[in-house]
Structure 1
Amino acid sequence: MPTPLRRLLVRLPVPLTLFALYTAVSVNRHRSMLTSGFDLGIFTQAVRGYAELRAPVAELKSPGFALLGDHFHPVLALLAPLYRLWPSPVTLLVAQAALLALSAVPVTTLATERLGRLAGTSLGLAYGLSWGIQGAVGFDFHEIAFAVPLLAMSLTRLARGHHLATALWALPLLLVKEDQAATVAAIGVLLLLRGSRRLGAALTAVAALAGFLLITVVIPAMNPLGTYEYLHSARGHGENPFARLLLPLDKAWLPLALLAPTLLLAARSSIALIAVPTLLLRMWSANESYWGTGFHYSAVLMPVVFTAMLDARVRHRLIAHAALAVALAWTATGLPLREAVTPDAWRVPSPVTTTETVLALIPEGTAVAADNRFAAALTARHTVYLFPTHPSQGIRPEWVAVSDPPGRSPLPAAENLAAREALPGRGYLLVAGAPGIRLYRLPPPG
């Protein structure tokens, strides 16, 4: 068998298996209305804007809000051709599944080179089933899906000693999100320490300058308030910096959880240090969601720790099989991919079917105020604003779709209920009601 064909057959099974799992679970969650306006709806609006040759405006954030004024992620424009062909939030979910699965190719290839085919396959699957990757699969769509394969390509080159390729794969991270500048700078520092002084220094300088300009000039220029909104929460406000970074003690679980999928072996390689800037930024934040293992925040760190594990020159093949066993056991505790073997997860609840019937009453192309639960399902066919922020004095969509009973996002359930009960007094008539949903309409004048 020719060598290129042999290599292809070695590389394909892991990413194809992972792609099938990621796609099935994420699309099924959307079909069951377990996705949300924040964030799948927001990103769908932005990609729809690119596809229609408009600015990436996200009305769910606020009317006319250019999403590049929130985070810098022009890489999303790459999804515009796909969305043009298939205008649906599902397009974003499938693209994310493909990107995450693609990231397993360089990790599996490096593992196969160093541990053999069987152990390499086990480690590739352990990577793809790691809790950080699964967190991204289970929570809507996010731009960091582009960062994961780029990091995997860059760091596996670093583990092989290919420094120029490392830098070239790292540079596009600056187009994924502004916080990736810290990661690129860390890669530059490591290149410098590993002997490529000029290349490492240049990459670090470019990343530092880009990060500074993005958060002080570029994003504020596109933000309606002229600011980078996340800078305020990053300030210390006179607090003890060590206490803020280390307390509460719940934060100590995050570094340990990141090393656990690699049986702590990633700590033996300096490549693991590339995770430090992201860890510090998250632990410094006052938002406790950043400290835990939920959501999508740790997906970008999985290529770091698994490549570090391989860079540590792990020789025993049983280590790879043990890592896969850990990933499977962790999945069984309730990670998103467990749904793939849970029969009840594939049954669409009857209230969801009823809700889809009610939402279908809204004519295509009209303006809708929808709560967080329904927004993602409507963004491809309508102009969608967030309820209960809207209807407002300036924005009065013709239709309003709200949960029954009221949801708890973005405001507490009691406030959502009060806003819903106020709709008749604002001129809205109840058009349809069913378990899980109420649909209101603003009658046309006359």
Structure 2
Amino acid sequence: MHAPPTHGSTLPPQQSAPQERVAAEPSGGSRSDGAWWIWALAAALFLAYAALSLRIHRRILSNSYDLGIFEQAIRSYAHGHLPVSELKAPDFPVLGDHFSPVLALVAPFYRLWPSAETLLVVQAALVAASVLPLAGWVRRTLGPAAAVVIGVGYGLSWGVASAVGFDFHEVAFAVPLLAYSLSALGSGRLRAAAFWALPLLLVKEDLGLTVAVIGLLIARSGDRRLGIVTAASGLAGTLLALLVVLPALNPDGSFAYWFWLDSPKGSDGGLAGLLYRGTVGLVTPEAKVSTLLLVLAPTLFLALRSPLLWVALPTLLWRFSSGNSVHWGTGYHYSLVLMPIVFAAFADALVRRRPSRASLHRYLAGSAAIGLLVLPQYPLWQLVKPDTWRTDPRVAVAHRLMDRIPDGATVQASTLLVPQLTDRTSVSLYGWPQSRPRPQWIVVDTWTPWYKRWPLTVQEEKASLDLARAQGYRTVADRDGFVLLNRPD
């Protein structure tokens, strides 16, 4: 990233430019004049996100990790208890895994509609709402054409698509908070920027470092006291969560980011491993560079010219220094929080360049072209595929078998069946060593494709089912690949 420019505010909208260099002037009148289409865009994105994630779930393609875990945690909140997840381990306290008390906000909705689908709809609403401040800010500073391109480009971006196409995650709460905070910061509304940033401390422990960077940008933009307080609050929040709260609540008293302690391939442990991660390890293997390039490509790399991009640094550092290769790529939800940051930085960079109208349109066309080129590679493209709207007859068979399991029973289920049972049973993952032993019921999809099969292989699963029968479980049903076993009382 380039070093931030040396002038005072993060984005000085008050400075005027010669008329011939201004791409678009802020519209006059009320701030809401002509902005109805931004709400329409947010509504359309909400419907797209919800449709995608609900179809995935109804086709029995959602996962125990992480949808099942989050539903169990929110179900605990909804019943007035601290969050636990049977999927992690019997009565495992989720606040000892990640510090995300913000999940309690979903509990009232879950109490009314106790289903995994409630989580997916809430996530769709949170992510869709994040387009409102971003598109509104761009419209006021760069005009409606830029607002359309950046708003749609952000809403359909690959990081957003990957997240809504893979279950539910707590970082969905971070997305609107970041969008509002960075839009305020870019417009010079520093108190609002701090106001929207500080709740990130309740979303996840690492986001305190993101708050700290926002605080430093606030201080650099003119309000030194507010910026220092915000930065100190963010840093203190992360340290408190990592060093006090999580070890105290974790049954093993372990450090929250255990995966960070694993040495990636090609590095040694100890000091040598730390040095490797902080230098060569940040850009190797090549998956890390590919991810970084794809993060910046929709902005034509102009985001590098904005100091707002520094807000992405904590997330990039922990991901690329992690010993878990899953964190390095473009899949799952790991790039979701980067999307509002990079598109806000893109808008800020365009304002700083003060391009002519023709130049602005070229930048926007380039950004849109890259977005369209990448879109078919990520889950939102499933919405235009006929298979997405077809339901395999096996789905009805699975539900008929699972309906035979009584409410409140203890169950072990294969990973794709778990989220279908988390709303009414005490379910854990079949074959997972930490699962509650000898449940009353076992339900397994033996036809699960190899790329969805976890944690057992086909051979291990068959041997495990044979062992369960030998230990007294009786076969209640065996149909179309679904096996339902019951332990007689």
TM tier relative to shorter chain: over 0.9
Please say if 1:189 is aligned against 2:194. Answer: no
Question: Contact 1:120–1:320 (CA<8 Å) still a contact in 2?
Answer: no
Task: Decide which of 435, 440, 457 is 1:398's aligned counterpart.
Answer: 440
1:346 matched to which residue of 2? 389
Please say if 1:198 is aligned against 2:235. Answer: no
Question: Contact 1:27–1:93 (CA<8 Å) still a contact in 2?
Answer: yes
Can you list the C-alpha shifts for 1:201-255, whole angstroms capped at 9, x where unaligned?
Answer: 1111111111111011111111111122424634752324223323223321121
Secondary structure in 2 matching 1:312: helix
Q: How far is the alpha carbon of 1:420 from its aligned partner?
A: 2.1
Please say if 1:426 is aligned against 2:471. Answer: yes
Q: Distance in 2 between matches of 1:287 and 1:101?
A: 29
What is the identity, as a one-letter code, of the residue corresponding to 1:196?
A: D
Question: Contact 1:408–1:416 (CA<8 Å) still a contact in 2?
Answer: no
What is the identity, as a one-letter code, of the residue corresponding to 2:302?
A: L
**In percent, how many aligned pairs have the same letter?**
44
What is the identity, as a one-letter code, of the residue corresponding to 2:135?
A: T
2:92 matched to which residue of 1? 65
Aligned length: 442
Q: How far is the alpha carbon of 1:76 from its aligned partner?
A: 0.3
Q: How far is the alpha carbon of 1:3 from its aligned partner?
A: 3.8
Q: How far is the alpha carbon of 1:397 from its aligned partner?
A: 1.4
Secondary structure in 1 matching 2:444: strand
1:272 matched to which residue of 2? 309
Question: Contact 2:182–2:344 (CA<8 Å) still a contact in 1?
Answer: yes
Q: Distance in 2 between matches of 1:411 and 1:185?
A: 42
Secondary structure in 2 matching 1:421: helix
What is the identity, as a one-letter code, of the residue corresponding to 1:350?
A: P
What is the identity, as a one-letter code, of the residue corresponding to 2:295?
A: L
2:139 matched to which residue of 1? 112
Q: How far is the alpha carbon of 1:320 from its aligned partner?
A: 2.8
Structure 1: stretches of 5+ with no match in the other structure: none
Q: Kindly indicate which of the two structures has a greater share of residues assigned to helix.
A: 1
Question: Contact 2:475–2:483 (CA<8 Å) still a contact in 1?
Answer: yes
Secondary structure in 2 matching 1:12: helix
Q: TM-score, normalised by structure 2?
A: 0.86
Deviates more, 1:406-415 or 1:243-252: 406-415
Structure 2: stretches of 5+ with no match in the other structure: 1-27, 263-268
Task: Decide which of 412, 416, 421 is 1:369's aligned counterpart.
Answer: 412
Q: Distance in 1 between matches of 2:108 and 2:466?
A: 42
Please say if 1:281 is aligned against 2:312. Answer: no
1:359 matched to which residue of 2? 402
Q: How far is the alpha carbon of 1:5 from its aligned partner?
A: 5.8
What is the identity, as a one-letter code, of the residue corresponding to 1:160?
A: S
Q: Distance in 1 between matches of 2:259 and 2:239?
A: 15
Q: How far is the alpha carbon of 1:357 from its aligned partner?
A: 1.7
1:131 matched to which residue of 2? 158
Q: Distance in 1 between matches of 2:219 and 2:454?
A: 46
What is the identity, as a one-letter code, of the residue corresponding to 2:446?
A: D
What is the identity, as a one-letter code, of the residue corresponding to 2:375?
A: T
Q: CA RMSD in A?
A: 1.9
Task: Decide which of 353, 362, 372 is 1:328's aligned counterpart.
Answer: 372
Question: Contact 1:369–1:391 (CA<8 Å) still a contact in 2?
Answer: no
Q: How far is the alpha carbon of 1:344 from its aligned partner?
A: 1.4
Please say if 1:176 is aligned against 2:221. Answer: no
Alignment of 1:148-227 (within 5 A): 148-227=175-254
Q: Distance in 1 between matches of 2:405 and 2:234?
A: 47
2:427 matched to which residue of 1? 384
Question: Contact 1:271–1:308 (CA<8 Å) still a contact in 2?
Answer: yes
1:16 matched to which residue of 2? 43
What is the identity, as a one-letter code, of the residue corresponding to 1:181?
A: G
1:6 matched to which residue of 2? 33
What is the identity, as a one-letter code, of the residue corresponding to 2:447?
A: P
Question: Contact 1:369–1:390 (CA<8 Å) still a contact in 2?
Answer: no
Task: Decide which of 239, 246, 269 is 2:283's aligned counterpart.
Answer: 246
Q: Distance in 2 between matches of 1:78 and 1:277?
A: 26
Q: Distance in 1 between matches of 2:434 and 2:41?
A: 48
Q: How far is the alpha carbon of 1:390 from its aligned partner?
A: 6.7
Question: Contact 2:259–2:323 (CA<8 Å) still a contact in 1?
Answer: no
Q: Distance in 1 between matches of 2:302 and 2:294?
A: 13
What is the identity, as a one-letter code, of the residue corresponding to 1:296?
A: H
Question: Contact 1:123–1:321 (CA<8 Å) still a contact in 2?
Answer: no
Secondary structure in 2 matching 1:365: coil
Deviates more, 1:379-388 or 1:166-175: 379-388
Question: Contact 1:119–1:320 (CA<8 Å) still a contact in 2?
Answer: yes
Q: How far is the alpha carbon of 1:410 from its aligned partner?
A: 2.3
Change (3 A) 1:390 1:380: farther
Q: TM-score, normalised by structure 1?
A: 0.95
1:337 matched to which residue of 2? 380
Change (3 A) 1:229 1:425: farther
Q: Distance in 2 between matches of 1:252 and 1:15?
A: 31
